[in-house]
């Protein structure tokens, strides 16, 4: 994902999160707040997925095709850690 696109999406999410904060400050109905939090989470997940996809198609491919075995192992370990952390959330 191009940095400009990523930053633009994250700023949109930031604005949406500020809206959620405002909803809590204004004592908005809980279910409405939860729905907006879920929307923010979904948007963050979409950005995260795109960043990971780009990483797999650039850094990971480069490392796997490269001659450095330790670098291949490091990159693959990072990917495994990312997936492990995603299941803990």
pLDDT of the residue at 58: 94
Tally of structural domains, the chain: 1
Decide if pLDDT at 1 tops 70: no
Note whether 59 and 74 are within 8 A (CB). Answer: no
pLDDT of the residue at 80: 93
Check which CATH number belongs to the domain holding 46 and give it.
Answer: 1.20.58.1000
Note whether 29 and 53 are within 8 A (CB). Answer: no
Q: What are the tens digits of pLDDT across the range 2-61?
A: 899 999 999 999 999 999 999 999 999 999 999 999 999 999 999 999 999 999 999 999
pLDDT of the residue at 88: 80
For helices 3-25 and 30-55, the axis angle rounded to 10 degrees is 170
The residue whose two tokens read 């405002």 is 22
Decide if pLDDT at 89 tops 80: no
**Burial of 75: CB neighbours in 10 Å, binned 0-12, 13-18, 19+:** buried
Note whether 49 and 41 are within 8 A (CB). Answer: no
What domain range includes position 55? 3-88
pLDDT of the residue at 47: 97
Decide if pLDDT at 70 tops 70: yes
């Amino acid at each position: 994902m191009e940095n400009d696109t990523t930053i633009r999406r994250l700023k949109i999410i930031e604005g949406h999160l500020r809206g959620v904060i405002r909803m809590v400050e204004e004592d908005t109905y809980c279910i409405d707040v939860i729905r907006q939090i879920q929307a923010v989470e979904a948007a963050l997940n979409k950005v995260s997925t795109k960043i990971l996809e780009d990483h797999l198609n650039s850094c990971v491919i480069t490392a796997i095709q490269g001659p450095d075995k330790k670098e291949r192992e490091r990159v693959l370990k990072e990917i495994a850690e990312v997936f492990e952390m995603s299941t803990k959330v």
